[in-house]
A and B are shown apart, each in its own frame.
Chain A
Amino acid sequence: NAGVTQTPKFQVLKTGQSMTLQCAQDMNHNSMYWYRQDPGMGLRLIYYSASEGTTDKGEVPNGYNVSRLNKREFSLRLESAAPSQTSVYFCASSATGTYSGNTIYFGEGSWLTVV
């Protein structure tokens, strides 16, 4: 009963380093999302993929890139990490992008610190 799995759970980076957050879901969902969570700001959407082969920018895409590798996997890449990217990152998925009432399921989160 894995649901949405993210790796790594914790990571410390130096400013300027790059890294990729991996996400996979086993629910056969079409849509996948990356959010970041910062204190007092709730969750903000970075990028999303409505279906395999498509990606779109969310509210805070600067400094990030994504790849929808296949239906199951959606990765988030930080090309040159900055301290402002210190945050908790959540991957999520939902059944389809065409019905707004579908539940979005979240992973456990990845804690990223940039020093």
Chain B
Amino acid sequence: AQSVTQLGSHVSVSEGALVLLRCNYSSSVPPYLFWYVQYPNQGLQLLLKYTSAATLVKGINGFEAEFKKSETSFHLTKPSAHMSDAAEYFCAVSEEKDSSYKLIFGSGTRLLVRP
């Protein structure tokens, strides 16, 4: 079964600093990988997804992620943090079974942005 590990339940950066949120996956087949963002008291919104077309994936709000098969990683980055980026971020892998699929989520990383 697929699984996802997010290193660091909380990450704190200064405004303008690099954001790096780590995600490692375990999958027996080529994975489809996703990053979602959750703002306080809201649902989850898709940031970006990897579907094997390109290893560097660009998403909304200036975020991007690079798929590295050799490292089984899909880390999320943003060159310069903004106060509005403060939120919880979830990495997820798609798992297929019996012609249906579902998302398996990591435990999440809360990003704090200091002024």
Contacts and interface: CB of A to CB of B under 8 A. Distances in A.
Interface range on chain A (Cβ under 8 Å from partner): 20 to 34
A104 interface: yes
| Chain B interface helix/strand/loop/mixed | strand
Given A41-B107, A103-B49, A109-B42, A98 B99 contact: yes
A59 to B, nearest CB: 8
Contacts of A43: 44, 90, 103, 105
Question: What class of interface size applies to chain B in its complex with A?
Answer: 20 to 34
Contact of A103 (B46, B98, B105): B46
A45 interface: yes
A47 B87 CA distance: 26
Contacts of B45: 106
B106 to A, nearest CB: 5
